[in-house]
Structure 1
Amino acid sequence: MKRLLLAVFTILICTNLSSQEFRVVKGGVTDSLPIAAGISDTYALYTPSDYSPEKKWPVIFVFDPKGRGATTANLFRAAAEDQKYLIASSNINLKSKPIDTIISTARSMMNEVLNSFPIDPAMVYTAGMGEGAQVGSALPLLYKQMAGVMAIGNSFVNPDYLDKKNPYMFIGIVGNKDYMVYEMESYLRFYDDINFTTDIYYFDGKEDEWPGSSVISNAISGFTIEAIKKGLRTKDQDFIQKLYENEVAYTETLRRTRNYFTASQKLDRMEEKYEDFGFEDDIKERVKAIKKTDGFKSQRRDFREATSFEKEQQAEYEYLLINDIMTVNFQNIGWWAYQVDELQKLKDSSNDVKANTAYRLHGYLDFVSKREFDNILKADVPIDTKIFISVLRTAINKNDPEAYFKIISLAGSDGDYESALLYLEDLLKTGYSDMESLYSIDGALDLQFSSEYNQIVKKYLGESKFYSDNVEEN
């Protein structure tokens, strides 16, 4: 009986690049599969429950910024099972390695899967979020037969290297609170202008967040429908009807939650996506019904006004921030803190357009200030400039421990123990609790041995590393 179950639920695979044998679970995720001999990185693999090596399969290579392969593969599980894809999800931590190493390892991962499994070379796709979207959208430069790219919250586009003779489908997905929303739309316009097939999906989320599995399923159906149109997959009308109804259900959810303008935009895209399948009249009727709904015109107006205001505000924020950094204007730190407080209040607005705008503007401020923070800390600039950008970071993103660490390090090295202790306490007020890291800050060794430093640590964490028995709270 055990042998029978093993035959039903697992497949033995011998890779071409390794003598190691491993079992792959059918209808489930198998984690920690080796990428190649001599490479320590691994990937997770999902295979549909009816997987058989007797036929060729489409595959989606997925890249998560933190290398959460199995978790991310499970996000794609429902779509992969229903629409019959293999999912190869990377365990590569993209935030800890240089980009050339990442691209090389991603290429090795692709080669390993393509050589080890019965993959249809005409139906190879990538998907990724954040830095993972940049990696995934760069891979068509290496694999010329790429059929599609799903980019979530970011992308990589280099017109000089794009091979227009080998077009692929580009699907953008972005959270409605993500400051990258306009950038993603510009990527879409770029691909539209060179006649690549495109689609875009929005979800209720911020930057560095994956959408839910239902959004991913609807997006993957774009790859599936495009493959059917090209004759790469069987034209099963019942199956196409099911995909269409799933997507209509999504637009209906938008309508019921009074997101009329977003629903109409999605239906407009669906008309092109499902053309020649007999749904044109149904889509047109749904669009007409939404546009007649009370609230549609006001939402469209609010959206356009918010878009115009937001782009102007982004430009103004960046100009003022760069100017304050160049002049090391500590007096304006309070003004930036006030701007962030106002955006925080606006996030709770009952007007979704205004609330989402506040999220995006704060996200953009966070992005620009982090970019300048990273650049300045690498540069040969006066200590005052480094302290200023670090303090500014804590005003814009109160929960970024890196900025607090830098202030403690710089102030401690400069003998300004009062400032270092002040920012140590501000960091701990955010809920930070990694005590070991508090005692490994560069340039603050003498301060870390002081009674004052340990008093503050014990006050918030209940204990301190030094003088634990003698330290008393104030």
Structure 2
Amino acid sequence: MKKKYTLLFFTVFLLQYAAFSQQIRLKKGTILEALPVQDSIPDTFSLYLPTTFSTDKKWPLLLIFDLEGREKQALSMFVQAAEKEGYVLAAPKISDTTSISSNMVKTSEVIHSINRMLPIHKERVYTAGASTGARFANLVPIFLKDVKGTVSIGASVANTDVLSVKRPFHFIGIVDENNYNYTQMLAVEKILDRFRFPNQVLIYESDRVWPDASYLKKAMQLFTLSAMAKKYIPTDSSYIDKAFKEDIIKVNQLKGSIKLLLAEQYMGEMMSIYGAHKNLDSLRLVQRDVRRNKLFRSMKRAENAIRLKEALLKEDYQYYIEEDVLSHNFNNLGWWNYQMTEINKFINGTNEHEKKMGNRLLGYVNALAEDNIDIVNSETLIDEDALALLYMLKTILQPQNFDFYLKLISLSAKNEDFGTALFYLEEALKKGFKDTDRLYGLEHTALLRIKPEFNKLVSEYLKDARYEIIEE
């Protein structure tokens, strides 16, 4: 006999083994942290059960990834959507300091643990993440056959070379037009179409990493509509009609705001998801009328021109950063400074297409620099000249990010290049750096800190030199 739970608390059995059985009490509507995967394994995960949860039906599971130790915060972003759409949420505790294979094993163990603990629908297990978490989330359905789809926020498919037509999964990309992955996300959508992977890309307008909760709800809704189309769950006509009306309202809002490119793109995504459920002839007519609109055509030409320009600039950035790092070409920092000036002109200009392109280019070149820093630091023998050049480049790209000034000061002092260390110290101080404790605690700067030039700069800008300045 099935038993319905109306209390806030209920008990289930977790991980039945021959050696032991452990009883655990779970609470609905609350994020539960540090749940054990197995008694013999120290790995843990966080879990959220919607307030409507009961054991008399099977539930979809969304695994959320954050590789920087913020899995609870990442999971909390999906809580509102999970309540509305009826999803169980889980966030495995993994790290970017661990290998992909090790993290994949941990993810598999969490899935199996939750399947033993809760009534999860085996055909409705999905992943999600933002930025680095999204790149890992994209890989999970490639390597774990139990996972049927992914929600990728701000990151494209990690590696299209490992995609297989024999193991398709549902890809839902969510990306801001200002994100440097925006154009790549649209390009990958075409690759997924060729592989016949079900996919949609949802575009939002904001400079935040996380989109509005409505986009996360829409992603879960798309998974549910797909599950109905595949007959994994019964077709719910009222659910489909409600979702379709919401999307029509969104299209009309975009059209009313003269955002015709976004309206046309959104209708294309609607075609891919509702084709199995409804006759879309009327929607096709609306999309055709938008495409014939003179303003739309003008916008499309402008966007295509911007994308071509952006692609060429990205090629230049990639080529020159590789050449500069390889040849230790410090002389080219002037060129990079000029490029930063040009990017800022785009960002601060009046052309909306160029403003968004400028933001994407800035994000792209920063990502290039940081990727190269990671590559250099991963070598057994670190090329400190290449590292110094990259730190200098980062001070140009992010002049208010004092981390790279301090790293450069420390590295220069280590190699007794006190002139460079003092130059970047003054640059940081000019731009508003004030953390004397952090400055005096820098590694490799003991000799630098007792120099009169160092203390003169600190006294001039911070009035807090710790050593007496003696003029000889």
TM-score, scaled relative to structure 1 = 0.86
Cα separation, partners in 2 of 1:132 and 1:423, compared to 1, 3 Å: same
Give CA-to-partner distance per residue, 1:363-422, whole Å, 9 cap, x none. Answer: 111122222233334554765443323212211232444432332123212323232133
Report if the CA contact (8 A) 2:66-2:129 is conserved.
yes
Report if the CA contact (8 A) 2:229-2:276 is conserved.
no
Task: Supply the distance in 2 between the matched residues of 1:433 and 1:64 (Cα, whole angstroms).
Answer: 31
Which deviates more from structure 2 when the two are superposed, residues 231-240 or residues 330-339? 330-339
Cα separation, partners in 2 of 1:141 and 1:276, compared to 1, 3 Å: closer
Q: Does 1:50 align with 2:49?
A: no
Report if the CA contact (8 A) 2:9-2:28 is conserved.
yes
Q: Among all aligned residue pairs of Structure 1 and Structure 2, give the percentage whose two residues are the same amino acid.
A: 27
Partner of 2:77: 75
Report if the CA contact (8 A) 1:68-1:90 is conserved.
no
Partner of 1:62: 64
Partner of 1:179: 180
- Cα drift, residue 191 of structure 1: 2.1
Report if the CA contact (8 A) 2:136-2:158 is conserved.
no
How does 1:76-95 map onto structure 2 within 5 Å?
76-92=78-94, 94-95=95-96
Aligned CA RMSD, in angstroms, stands at 3.1
Cα separation, partners in 2 of 1:384 and 1:157, compared to 1, 3 Å: closer
Report if the CA contact (8 A) 1:188-1:198 is conserved.
yes
Report if the CA contact (8 A) 1:59-1:88 is conserved.
yes
Letter aligned with residue 30 of structure 1: L
Partner of 1:3: none
Partner of 1:228: 228
Partner of 2:447: 446
SS at match of 1:87: strand
Q: Mind listing any 5+ residue stretches in structure 1 that lack a counterpart?
A: 1-5
- Cα drift, residue 270 of structure 1: 0.5
Report if the CA contact (8 A) 1:145-1:166 is conserved.
no
Task: Supply the distance in 2 between the matched residues of 1:32 and 1:375 (Cα, whole angstroms).
Answer: 33
How does 1:160-199 map onto structure 2 within 5 Å?
162-199=163-200
- Cα drift, residue 53 of structure 1: 1.6
Report if the CA contact (8 A) 1:75-1:212 is conserved.
no
Give CA-to-partner distance per residue, 1:311-336, whole Å, 9 cap, x none. Answer: 11111222233333344333331221
Task: Supply the distance in 2 between the matched residues of 1:73 and 1:394 (Cα, whole angstroms).
Answer: 33
Task: Supply the distance in 2 between the matched residues of 1:430 and 1:102 (Cα, whole angstroms).
Answer: 40
Task: Supply the distance in 2 between the matched residues of 1:100 and 1:455 (Cα, whole angstroms).
Answer: 52
Partner of 2:284: 284
- Cα drift, residue 75 of structure 1: 2.2
Give CA-to-partner distance per residue, 1:158-210, whole Å, 9 cap, x none. Answer: 5675453332212222221122223223332222212121111112245x812
SS at match of 2:108: helix
Which deviates more from structure 2 when the two are superposed, residues 351-360 or residues 443-452? 443-452
- Cα drift, residue 152 of structure 1: 2.1
How does 1:76-155 map onto structure 2 within 5 Å?
76-92=78-94, 94-155=95-156
TM-score, scaled relative to structure 2 = 0.87
SS at match of 2:171: strand
Partner of 1:313: 313
Letter aligned with residue 10 of structure 1: F
Partner of 1:248: 248
- Cα drift, residue 64 of structure 1: 2.3
Which deviates more from structure 2 when the two are superposed, residues 150-159 or residues 416-425? 150-159
Report if the CA contact (8 A) 2:37-2:110 is conserved.
yes
Report if the CA contact (8 A) 1:251-1:263 is conserved.
yes
- Cα drift, residue 446 of structure 1: 2.3
Partner of 2:10: 11
